[in-house]
Structure 1
Amino acid sequence: MNTRAEPPVEDFARTADAAVVGKDLAFKDLGLKVGDRMVIEPPAKLGEQPGVVKLIGWVNDLSVLVTMPDTRAWAGPPIEGDEIGVRTFSGRHAYGFSTVVGKRSVRPFEYLHLEFPRRISMRQIRNAERIATSISARVTDADEPVPTVVTNLSATGAEVRVWSPGRAVGDKVSLELVLDIHKVRTRIVVTGVIRNQHDTVDTGEPAYGVEFEDLNAQTSVFLKSYVYQNLVEQPHRRL
């Protein structure tokens, strides 16, 4: 078994926003590495909650090997012949394809052989991609830290519920929030400018639109990772 694919196979989907326009998108073009996370959507008979797996490797034009997902929320484990959807992201692109479980192996540990994908769709993830959130945060540049909630988030800004005492459009603000990135709680502090005040769509509560400024490289990576992770694992949260 190889963990790197051979030259591109034929019959992959062409996509309008492909990184290399006019060429077929091969599995190796996804830029995935052994151990990268992928999200699988189970067949309806098993449930609706997506599961997370890790890439073990692949044999070009034959099979993709992934770890067994946590199936406790499903009616049972996937078996041979089950159709599943797979989503993942790499760099600034989200990918998806449909496949079939070719074999479920239990030795030396449980893992799945998935049929090699023949058609892969791709969508570019832009910095402005936003996701709905409910992240507890603190305003840290007040006399004392003030609690608030981040109701949506992107790599470049956030919607934050109005806190008391309030601020004016154009004011700067410093926010502390904790992001759950692949089950690791990561604390970040961001500084931004309040660009507008409006009512939230879902509850009608007043909120500020905050544009982040002067993000350091590490914080930028954390924000993008959190947004991309949620776009892949919970696409219904995309705004």
Structure 2
Amino acid sequence: MPDSSPAKDAPDNPASNSATNPAANPAANTTVNLDEARLQIGDSVQIQPLGEPNGARHYVRLIGFAKNGSVLLSTPKVDGSYIFVRDGQNYVVRAFSGKNAYAFSTTVIRSVAVPYPYLHLSYPKDVRALVVRRGARAKVNLIASSRRLDAQGQEVAEAVAASIRNVSISGALIVSPHPLGLQGETLRLSFKLSLNDMVTLVTLDGVIRAVNPGGEEIGPGMIAYGLEFVGGNPQDRITLTAFVYQKLLEQEAA
């Protein structure tokens, strides 16, 4: 512990137990206890005001929790300064562990300033677990640059602008008004990801598995390419995985 067959984005009530159809949704939902999530002290978690889909999301650290007692998180900061959090405020907390993403609703029991700022949150009765399958795709709209590679992995074409419409940990759907390559060829894709309030430039190679001319969903004059990621820097793959899990969980909440 992180915007196509689109995955749905955790309802504002993250612990809701609505049924899902695994065949229709690449990410399956279950309900667990907080201790089953196996979150670790120091993990980065995201908090957002409950019931505010466009509310500010802040990344904080898990300090610890006492079962059936409370959850302790660091107080969020903006531009290096702690923000005011009132007692009684309701939040959605989102976290990532292993191949799963988790969300639960909670209430601020006490916002503490001494000896250092931190939050006491109510212990959740249920935690929504999003079990992310390998092919689960998050809807995004990311600007990217694409370069075609030869059989030796060397760049043989100038960078061409493209847009990423959805992404998974194993591939992406990209569109461009320019020809990028043929089925079976490899592209080097570079794009920026925003995760934990930090922007990271990621570069991954992907084999073109499908090429489709533009339609209503893609846009006139656009060409769609289905990519399967291959190789790549391990750190970039980790960053991508965290980003996809974050987006899937956020989209479940929309």
8 Å contact kept, 1:14–1:25: no
Say if 2:212 is the partner of 1:197. yes
Decide which moves more: 173-182 or 121-130: 173-182
Say if 2:190 is the partner of 1:176. yes
Aligned to 1:185, which of 173, 194, 200?
200
8 Å contact kept, 2:48–2:56: yes
Unmatched runs of 5 consecutive residues or more in structure 2: 1-14, 21-30, 149-155
Decide which moves more: 35-44 or 146-155: 35-44
Counterpart residue identity of residue 192, structure 2: V
CA distance in 2, matches of 1:143, 1:83: 51
Say if 2:165 is the partner of 1:151. yes
Aligned to 2:237, which of 220, 227, 238?
220
SS at 1:109's partner residue? coil
1:1-239 to structure 2, matched below 5 A, reads 25-43=32-50, 48-70=55-77, 77-141=84-148, 142-182=156-196, 183-199=198-214, 201=217, 203-204=219-220, 205-214=222-231, 217-232=234-249, 234-235=250-251
Query: Quick one: structure 1 residues 181 and 80, their matched pair in 2 at CA, closer, same or farther if it must change by over 3 Å?
Result: closer
Counterpart residue identity of residue 159, structure 1: L
Unmatched runs of 5 consecutive residues or more in structure 1: 1-11, 18-23
Alpha-carbon shift at residue 66 of structure 1 (Å): 0.5
SS at 1:189's partner residue? strand
Counterpart residue identity of residue 251, structure 2: P
Q: Show CA shifts across 1:80-105 (max 9, x none).
A: 22222222221111212222111010
Alpha-carbon shift at residue 16 of structure 1 (Å): 8.5
Query: Quick one: structure 1 residues 211 and 189, their matched pair in 2 at CA, closer, same or farther if it must change by over 3 Å?
Result: closer
CA distance in 1, matches of 2:76, 2:105: 17
Counterpart residue identity of residue 151, structure 1: R
CA distance in 1, matches of 2:17, 2:143: 41
Structure with the greater relative contact order (CA < 8 A, sep ≥ 6): 1 or 2? Answer: 2
The TM-score normalised by the length of structure 2 is 0.71
Counterpart residue identity of residue 193, structure 1: I
Query: Quick one: structure 1 residues 42 and 108, their matched pair in 2 at CA, closer, same or farther if it must change by over 3 Å?
Result: same
Q: How many percent of aligned residue pairs carry the same amino acid?
A: 27
Alpha-carbon shift at residue 202 of structure 1 (Å): 6.2
CA distance in 2, matches of 1:172, 1:196: 13
Decide which moves more: 80-89 or 209-218: 209-218
Alpha-carbon shift at residue 56 of structure 1 (Å): 0.9
CA distance in 1, matches of 2:50, 2:190: 39
Q: Show CA shifts across 1:85-133 (max 9, x none).
A: 2222211112122221110101122211001111122120111121222
8 Å contact kept, 1:195–1:211: no
The TM-score normalised by the length of structure 1 is 0.75
Give the aligned partner of residue 21 of structure 1: none
8 Å contact kept, 2:62–2:74: yes
Alpha-carbon shift at residue 55 of structure 1 (Å): 0.6
Alpha-carbon shift at residue 207 of structure 1 (Å): 1.8
The aligned length equals: 216
